[in-house]
Amino acid sequence: MSVQSNTPQSYRAADWWRGAVIYQIYPRSFFDSNGDGIGDIPGVTQKLAYIAELGVDAIWLSPFFTSPMKDFGYDVADYCDVDPMFGSLADFKTMLAEAQRLGLKVIIDQVYSHTSDQHPWFIESRSSRDNDRSDWYVWADAKLDGTPPNNWLSIFGGSAWQWDSRRRQYYLHNFLTSQPDLNFHNPAVQDAILDVMRFWLELGVDGFRLDVVNMYFHDAQLRDNPVVSQPSERHVGSGDDNPWSRQFHKHQITQPENIAFLQRLRSLLDQYPSRTTIGEIGSYDSLKVMSDYTSGGDKLHMAYTFDLLSADCSADYIRHTIASVEAQLGDGWPNFALSNHDVIRSVTRWGGHAPRSDFAKASLALLFSLHGSSCLYQGEELGLPEGKVAFEDLQDPYGIEFWPEFKGRDGCRTPMVWTADGGFTSHGTSWLPIDPDHLPLNADTQAQDPTSVLQWVKQFLSWRRTQPALIHGDFQWLSGYDGAALVFSRRVADQVLWVGVNLTDKPLTVPIAGRIECLEAAGFSGTVQDNSLVIPAYNAVFAQAV
């Protein structure tokens, strides 16, 4: 099986995001500068040198905007200000300037599909049926029997419709009832959202990660969603614990009108050189949507794929997933991640009982070597496993709703460990407890250990910068091979680089046609013997064609 990409051989400086490594910061859990137990923007500023030393290209900040925090910032009450718990707009400007001084691009999360019910837009919209913003949100009358307008479901459980006694109508919410969906069919809503984006562009941010970018529009006719008849047809990562997976959300999300809005959005971005967008796409046909949203150079720059955030890490699954992305994306561009603020950390989800440090290095070597850009979630550079959080300590409304079959998202959001005693906050108690098993993995200790995951990440990303094939080379799986090792080539100009990654507990040998020699990639013991890649368990090898 082989797949050839359509990667151009050279890039303008404005295309810095192609092949970039982006460090995701969940500010609430990164570093607390004022001792209130919650991470903040000044805390990010204090740790920017640490991030720059990793060798990443950019940071992505999860939401820090004014919010009642029912969904921890993904319920925005003011798009253009910083919530006081995170600091001030002046603090953000200071952080932005320091990041850019250190050579780090700054990408911020934007949640456009919905707002908080505390947003002034919604407060006005719900006040009557004839105010200036009466149709800025999705309102609908009840059926004759009083039930919701259709069968649409909320991702957080139950109906996607909430009755409002002021208007005596239902409003749409794809998430919590306190997160009403905006009505993008209204051009005034689109204009307002683009004004928000313009505000941050003028402030100097380098890009946007767009939350649930395929959920901006809904079917204006409010038709029922069809039912999923086979479990195999359900969304990646969905299961019987959440009834959301029982429907094809054909009419609720991913509507054709979204394309035209993304073109408007891109036209705005193109007025600001070197800016970028990453669209988060969750859909049963996500690969097609990724292609639709990134092709042609007139919509999103990158599509953030969930496909490697699944529980399956078999070689067959990974090969099929990457091959499918490459085959369907065309001239679009993917953005891969193994962990984020919504899923079980990869060392636990994929690694299981594997040696933590070895598995972390091998899996990250795979991530950093794929064709596309990649996101490194805070703590991955330490090899942190999923944090253990007792039910009584849960904060995540999603986890509380679906406990105990689904433990929620708090385990991947526990605070960073900076020192042997945690070092996240100087006073009081952190908003989520630190897992005691994380303490020995702290950044200070790992910085002193040349064999640690942290030191490996620094060394590998430094070496990666010297390998143009890994940043923007063509991608091809080893033809005719379907074994347990993941073996592919990256090619640019006259450089052909072979990559072999072994995520299993047994050593593997893979013959390669032609003459190859091993490269001294940081920290791996894989070798080349008789034109074969010899890869120990939970290890990798990089070789140059000669």
Residue 11 pLDDT grade (very low, low, confident, very high; cuts 50, 70, 90): low
CA-based angle 494:500:505, to the nearest 5?
Answer: 175
pLDDT of 4 higher than 60:
no
Q: What is the mean pLDDT of the chain?
A: 94
pLDDT of 447 higher than 70:
yes
Structure tokens belonging to residue 171: 């409003």
How far apart are the C-alpha atoms of 383 and 202, rounded to whole Å? 37
Residue 457 pLDDT grade (very low, low, confident, very high; cuts 50, 70, 90): very high
Taking residues 53-65, what's their average pLDDT? 98
Taking residues 134-163, what's their average pLDDT? 97
Number of Cβ atoms within 10 Å of the Cβ of 269: 20
Taking residues 136-146, what's their average pLDDT? 98
| Fold held by 474-545 | Immunoglobulin-like (2.60.40)
Class of domain 13-112+187-218+253-385+412-462: alpha beta
Pairing of strands 276-280, 207-210: parallel
Structure tokens belonging to residue 10: 């050279």
Q: For the segment 280-313, what is each residue's pLDDT rounded down to a tens digit?
A: 998 888 889 999 999 999 999 999 988 999 999 9
Residue 5 pLDDT grade (very low, low, confident, very high; cuts 50, 70, 90): very low
Query: Tell me, what's the pLDDT at 284?
Result: 80
Q: Catalytic residue, from 57, 75, 206, 211: name it.
A: 211
**Any catalytic annotation for residue 211?**
yes
Residue 255 pLDDT grade (very low, low, confident, very high; cuts 50, 70, 90): very high
Query: Tell me, what's the pLDDT at 156?
Result: 92
Q: Where are the domains of the chain?
A: 13-112+187-218+253-385+412-462, 474-545
Residue 7 pLDDT grade (very low, low, confident, very high; cuts 50, 70, 90): very low
Residue 10 pLDDT grade (very low, low, confident, very high; cuts 50, 70, 90): very low
C-alpha neighbours within 13 Å on the C-beta side of residue 344: 15
pLDDT of 232 higher than 90:
no
Q: Catalytic residue, from 57, 280, 292, 474: name it.
A: 280
Query: Tell me, what's the pLDDT at 51?
Result: 98
